[in-house]
């Protein structure tokens, strides 16, 4: 039986492309500086460095995980909705499903915890699969 090859780690170019994509996504989501810092798990000066020179950023595995969840959330929204208003506006809308309990996805995601990004991603995946 052959072993399944391990996933290849992303090179710096791919990591930087992910960061640039998320920074553009933040513009569409109309994120405040505080929200951006919480979503990326960084301080103000690091955020400013990322925004000014994303291609020179040192992207840790923690940041890469956050970028991955944010991009997956965006992809789920693109799959769920046909219009840009919903694709980009959904994260700001109060949600009354049990997990969100009246909070918006952005309220949940911007608490700074990676687990919150994971949970929002999981909720959208279940909605995408018709289980929500």
Q: pLDDT digit string (tens) for 95-109?
A: 998 889 999 999 999
Residue 59 has pLDDT above 60, yes or no: yes
Does 74 reside within a domain?
A: yes
Residue 64 above 50 pLDDT? Answer: yes
Task: Decide if 123 is inside a domain.
Answer: yes
| Within a domain: 37 | yes
Q: What is the mean pLDDT of residues 20-47?
A: 97
Q: Are 117 and 66 in contact (CB under 8 A)?
A: yes
Q: Is residue 6 part of a domain?
A: no
DSSP conformation class of 83: S
Determine contact, residues 80/124, Cβ cutoff 8 Å. Answer: yes
Q: What is the pLDDT of residue 97?
A: 87
Helices (H), 53-113: 61-80, 84-89, 105-109
What range does the domain containing 69 cover? 12-128
Residue 47 falls inside a structural domain: yes
In a domain, 46, yes or no: yes
Residue 2's pLDDT is what? 53
Say whether pLDDT at 81 is over 70.
Answer: yes
Question: Is the pLDDT at 122 greater than 60, yes or no?
Answer: yes
Best CA proximity match to 104, nearest among 11, 35, 45, 6: 35
Does the pLDDT of residue 52 top 70, yes or no?
yes
Residues near 28 by Cβ (< 8 Å), separated by ≥ 6?
Answer: 88
96 belongs to a structural domain: yes
pLDDT at 4 over 70: no
Count of domains forming the chain? 1
Tell me the pTM.
0.88
């Amino acid at each position: 039986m052959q072993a399944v090859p391990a996933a290849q780690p992303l090179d710096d170019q791919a990591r930087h492309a992910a960061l640039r994509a998320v920074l553009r996504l933040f513009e569409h989501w109309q994120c405040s500086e505080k929200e951006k810092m919480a979503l990326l798990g960084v301080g103000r000066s690091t955020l400013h460095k990322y925004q000014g020179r994303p291609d020179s950023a040192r992207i840790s595995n923690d940041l890469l995980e956050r970028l991955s969840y944010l991009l997956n959330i965006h992809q789920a929204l693109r799959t769920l909705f046909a219009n840009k208003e919903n694709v980009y506006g959904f994260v700001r809308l109060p949600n009354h499903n049990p997990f969100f309990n009246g909070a918006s996805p952005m309220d949940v995601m911007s608490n700074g915890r990676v687990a919150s990004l994971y949970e929002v991603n999981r909720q959208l995946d279940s909605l995408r699969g018709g289980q929500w």
